[in-house]
Amino acid sequence: MLKLELARQRAATRRMDAAHRELEMMDRTLMEVLSDPAFLALLRAHGLGSMPMLVYQRLSEQR
């Protein structure tokens, strides 16, 4: 029973680590594209000149 619980917890930890790595990659990618003035102009031209506050706050923490 203990081995089963340990295996379950290890699997959960691996999934959390993978999700964390993916979020970090998304943060870096967003920061990179949002630093490109041409990309920002394209977003504004299509009516996408703002972002959700939580995304903005997360990116602000990364700087």
Return the domain boundaries, the chain: 23-63
- Contacts made by residues 24-31, CB under 8 angstroms, sequence distance 24+: 27/58, 27/59, 27/62, 28/62, 30/55, 30/59, 31/59, 31/62, 31/63
- Chain segment 4-62, per-residue pLDDT in tens: 999 999 999 999 999 999 999 999 999 999 899 999 999 999 998 888 888 888 878 87
Burial code (b: 16+ CB inside 10 Å, e: under 16) for 18-57 equals eeeeeeeeeeeeeeeeeeeeeeeeeeeeeeeeeeeeeeee
